[in-house]
Amino acid sequence: MHRPTDGQHDATPDSPTSLSRRTLLQFAGAALVLLVSPVSAAAPKSAPNPVSNPVPKAGSLLAVRVWPAEEYTRITLEGNQTLQFTSLQVKDPERLVVDLEGIELDSVLKSLPGKVMESDPYIKLIRAGQNRPGVVRIVVELKAEINPQIFTLTPVGNYGHRLVLDLYPTVPVDPLLALIEKSSPLDAASGDTRDSEVSPPAASTASPTIARNEPTPPANGRKADPVRRADPPPNRLVTVMLDPGHGGEDPGAVGRRGSYEKNVTLNIARRLKRKIDSIPGMRALLTRDGDYFVPLAQRVTRARRVQADLFLSIHADAFVKPEARGSSVFVLSEKGASSSAARLLAQKENEADLIGGVNLAKQDSHLARTLLDLSQAATINDSIKLAKQVLAALGNINTLHKAEVEQAGFAVLKAPDIPSILVETAFISNPEEERRLIDNRYQDKMANAILSGIQRYFAANPPIQQRARVVQLG
């Protein structure tokens, strides 16, 4: 503001005649306003305070993660705000280019290239650099042509805003091809006894895989005519779908020692698979065989595609109080949960899709409609029978959290035609049980106990012939 100099006044104090009555009233009114008004209110609105309205800073990334798997590789970029991006695919050589807008190159982004493993089936290397002010360019050099799915996720759980790059092959990998690992179905049906890592089930679990029609002694004591045993023919397999809970972006529950539920469940499932595979006429398949996420609906779909005889989802429980302990077994309920704890657990497990990250634009609603249209009463009844056998076997190696099978609306148990159970092996939030869950010997005991329950169930409930068959591949 220009400060007036001497001699520039329109009127001087010794010139009373130069001040009109109106001028005096204006000066008095202005003085009164200044006395009763706050300083901030007296400031002109056309001059905003620059301190209270800072220029927004560029967004920053909180974390970057890479989850490689045969089915697909996922790249996750997590930020403190919604990530704006553009992407394009480039040929010769194959590359995926993603420009992040409103982002500056920082140490988090610079760490991304080092997260790529040589064994990654799809990514050769990743480069990240400042393309222009406010724009970071990420270049993913690929080993082969891909079919990318790129989508954003809103904050959930401990995660902020996420941008997800799912790199699928142009010809999808069928994870169910692992069902037959032998040269022929006949070899598979004969079992695999060469795996030295498989310890045999305990003596109490030596019940036959398939129920046998043993002759019943007649009342007169005469020797009964021999009855042909119902051994499974060599060209069919009893298929058990094992579902290691969580995976990838979704760690599941976390123990006080930092153990992840997703790792515990995968280790137990792998052990159980090897044991089942060693039994003639039986074969197990995993919904995931690595640290990556599989949506809940896909887990159900995979079991139905191979016409599995059983679906068994493996988990490790958690609670706010570390004293909680013991094993539990759950089945689906059509009429509401059997307890408030079961309802809360189902709600937590059903949130896996939100945490693991599902591309909602690609989800097929056909399965949901099918599940609503089909009656599951008979399947739930069979599920309860299986759950009781597994729960009883778990009681031989661990305390039972609940002595009865519980029911709730678990999304992963909604196959309408496959007996399905969810096993909470123990509480990973309990320090003692966490220590046991990460112990190799205890994991083997847990797998043996579950196998015992499966065998006892099949001994009393032979699998349906039409469902349990070898899937013809090729």
* 95-101 and 135-142 strand pairing: antiparallel
- Strand, helix or coil at 47? coil
For residue 33, being part of any structural domain is answered with no
144 and 272 assigned to the same domain: no
84-90 sheet: strands from edge to edge: 84-90, 95-101, 135-142, 123-132
For residue 327, being part of any structural domain is answered with yes
pLDDT digits (tens, 9 = 90+) for 103-159: 889 899 999 999 999 999 999 999 999 999 889 999 999 999 999 999 999 998 889
- Strand, helix or coil at 140? strand
For residue 406, being part of any structural domain is answered with yes
CA 222-227-231 angle, 5° bins: 150
pLDDT digits (tens, 9 = 90+) for 297-351: 889 889 988 889 999 999 998 888 899 999 999 988 766 555 566 566 556 555 5
- Which residues is 327 bridged to in the sheet? 400
For residue 147, being part of any structural domain is answered with yes
Q: Are 140 and 126 in contact (CB under 8 A)?
A: yes
pLDDT (0 to 100) of residue 379? 83
Classify 9 in phi/psi space as left (phi over 0), alpha (psi -120 to 50) or beta.
Answer: beta
Q: Is residue 38 over pLDDT 90?
A: no
256 and 111 assigned to the same domain: no
104 and 186 assigned to the same domain: no
What CATH number corresponds to the domain at position 101? 2.60.40.3500
Q: Are 163 and 359 in contact (CB under 8 A)?
A: no
pLDDT (0 to 100) of residue 39? 35
The enclosing H or E element of 366 equals: helix 366-373
Q: How far is CA 94 from CA 113, 143, 165, 319, 398, in A?
A: 17, 7, 15, 47, 52
Q: Which of 116, 149, 169 is the last residue of a domain?
A: 169
352 and 408 assigned to the same domain: yes
pLDDT digits (tens, 9 = 90+) for 253-278: 999 999 999 999 999 999 999 999 99
Distance CA 408, CA 437 (A): 25
Q: How confident is the model at residue 235 (pLDDT cuts 50, 70, 90)?
A: low
Distance CA 79, CA 102 (A): 11
396 and 374 assigned to the same domain: yes
Domain range holding 152?
61-169
pLDDT (0 to 100) of residue 338? 53
Q: Which of 169, 192, 220 is the last residue of a domain?
A: 169
158 and 200 assigned to the same domain: no
304 and 430 assigned to the same domain: yes
For residue 469, being part of any structural domain is answered with no
For residue 470, being part of any structural domain is answered with no
Query: CA neighbours within 13 Å on the CB side: how many for 356?
Result: 26
Report which of 454, 371, 446, 444 is spatially closest to residue 413, judged by C-alpha positions.
Answer: 371
93 and 188 assigned to the same domain: no
Q: Both tokens of residue 250?
A: 């979704």
241 and 157 assigned to the same domain: no
147 and 198 assigned to the same domain: no
What CATH number corresponds to the domain at position 376? 3.40.630.40
For residue 200, being part of any structural domain is answered with yes
Average pLDDT over residues 413-422: 84
106 and 187 assigned to the same domain: no
* 238-244 and 328-332 strand pairing: unpaired
Indicate the number of domains in the chain: 2
For residue 182, being part of any structural domain is answered with yes
284 and 401 assigned to the same domain: yes
Q: Is residue 74 over pLDDT 50?
A: yes
Range from 130-139, 409-418, 446-455 carrying the lowest mean pLDDT? 409-418
Please classify residue 457 by burial: count the beta carbons closer than 10 Å to its beta carbon, then call 0-12 exposed, 13-18 middle and 19+ buried: buried
Determine what percent of the chain is predicted with pLDDT higher than 90: 50
Distance CA 306, CA 284 (A): 11
pTM given for the model: 0.69
Q: Are 72 and 150 in contact (CB under 8 A)?
A: no
Q: Which of 152, 169, 186 is the last residue of a domain?
A: 169
